[in-house]
Structure 1
Amino acid sequence: MRRGGGGGRGSGNYTNPCLTMHQPWASLLVYGIKRIEGRSWTAPIRGRLWIHAASKVPEEDTIKAMEDFYREIYAVNGITDIQFPEHYPVSKLLGCVEVVGCVRCEELASWEAVPEGVRLEGQTDFCWLCEQPQKLLVPFDMRGYQGVYNLEKKIYEAAVRGLVPVKGPMPVKFPFPNPRDPFSLKPGSISALFSENEASGVVKSESLSAAIAGARAAATQFNKKDQNLLTNNIKNSNSNSSSSGQPDSKSLEEDKMLQSYSHGHSNEKLSVPNNTEQHNPIQYKESSSHSQTREGLKQIPGASAKVIS
């Protein structure tokens, strides 16, 4: 299995895997500013992962909070000149990154072989390690789907010709515990390199702590909105049931989608979705994966959209 390129894959039936994320997190990843994608489940692939932006237009306060957060974590490593995207387009395929591994948040936080700023990015259960960002010169209009899904062949064939490499403010290469094994960066592989007594975190300044708090608030906003949507939808379904004797098929399907969403935001681990091209488009949106917190562990930004436009 090779580390780079789009040919190598992890487990599952992925050919050209894609992940839908909310803005501004999606563009920050494709621009190489964001290097860790946080999830409550392990990365099901290695190699190229296409990034699609969900339909939710980001609020100015959300963009500011995330840009402030990344200014602070890059400043930890002495980087002060960050070129943020001029625009955060929605409902578009933006580009891709290379997923080279996945480790637990505790491991990343104590991994002294990577820059301190990178160690600050991941506080979800699992941290997908991303390198080699590439963006599309012309982003493609596209619908997103739940979980990791395969791009349609015709979209992939057009998109792969329009990629250009992106150099982030501070590109990182994640060292493999076993250089001969491209799957050696997996949960538990980093903690094996140091004892609990040797593990160390990053000391946070007052301004960094404030930026992290702002980013957390930005990352959890979608969770609150979608929980309200779930409540309202259930009420509407009950109303349909009372008036007609049973809920209509659309209400039942929407309830199922929203309840699945709600369960995915509990402290329980999410199951990895089936790896086929037969995912159904879903209209409701999910927040940043960083709203999926572990008990006793606050999360910082890295939004994803499990359900999309």
Structure 2
Amino acid sequence: MKTITIHQPWATLIALGEKKFETRSWATNYRGELAIHAGKKIDKKICQTEPFRTILAMYGYHVDNLPTGTIVAICRLEACYSVLRTPNEKALLENGTLNTLHRYPIEKQEMAFGDYTDGRFAWELGDVRRLPNPVPAKGRQGFWNWEPSS
């Protein structure tokens, strides 16, 4: 199964269904099942800021109990959008061709959970299923393959 390693707290926010888009500097044509791997790095400073602190606390998480080095969720990578910043500094997600261009605004909480700089990409994650027991795995950069045990 294709897998992506994401630093904490972002991996847990995806697993909880609170983060709907993963922002990256690169686009992908891949669509389908995707495992979310929580890397070993935790951004402790961001965990203490809002809305991170409140959202994590709602689920019983804080900087000291975030899972690391584990697969925390399975989801579907449904779409990849280009990020466009408007003159009023709002971020829009854009996909399609000139004939069928679609633009979607980003909500405030989602903006806090990603890097929506002009020219980046937002991967839409759907059908997120948090694993009740995270599975230990060694992460890698980019997409990598993970073989879930039956």
| Aligned residue number for residue 89 of structure 1 | 67
Question: Which structure has the highest strand share of the two?
Answer: 2
| Aligned residue number for residue 117 of structure 1 | 108
1:26 is paired with a residue whose SS is helix
How far is 1:23 from its partner? 0.7
1:140 is paired with a residue whose SS is strand
Which is higher, the Rg of structure 1 or of structure 2? 1
How far is 1:157 from its partner? 3.1
Residue of structure 1 aligned with 2:19, choices 34, 57, 60: 34
Aligned equivalents of 2:67, 2:149: Cα separation in 1: 21
Aligned partners of 1:27 and 1:85 also within 8 Å: no
| Aligned residue number for residue 138 of structure 1 | 133
- Report which structure shows greater RCO (CA 8 Å, sep ≥6): 2
| Aligned residue number for residue 6 of structure 2 | 21
| Aligned residue number for residue 46 of structure 2 | 62
| Aligned residue number for residue 101 of structure 1 | 79
TM-score w.r.t. the length of structure 1 is 0.37
Cα deviations by residue, 1:126-168 (Å, 9 ceiling, x for unpaired): 111112211111111111122101113xxx134xxxxxxxxxx
How far is 1:84 from its partner? 3.9
Cα deviations by residue, 1:112-132 (Å, 9 ceiling, x for unpaired): 655633763451411111122
How far is 1:30 from its partner? 1.1
2:58 is paired with a residue whose SS is coil
| Cα gap change, 1:95 to 1:110, in 2 (>3 Å) | closer
Residue 157 in structure 1 maps to residue 140 in structure 2: no
| Cα gap change, 1:89 to 1:113, in 2 (>3 Å) | same
Amino acid at match of 2:92: S
Structure 1: 5+ residue stretches without partners:
1-15, 73-79, 159-309
Structure 2: 5+ residue stretches without partners:
94-102
Amino acid at match of 1:157: S
1:110 is paired with a residue whose SS is strand
Aligned equivalents of 1:17, 1:104: Cα separation in 2: 22
Aligned equivalents of 1:115, 1:126: Cα separation in 2: 13
Q: Aligned Cα RMSD in Å?
A: 2.8
1:56 is paired with a residue whose SS is strand
Amino acid at match of 1:140: V
2:51 is paired with a residue whose SS is helix
2:149 is paired with a residue whose SS is helix
Cα deviations by residue, 1:67-118 (Å, 9 ceiling, x for unpaired): x13589xxxxxxx9x8345231111111122111011111792356556337
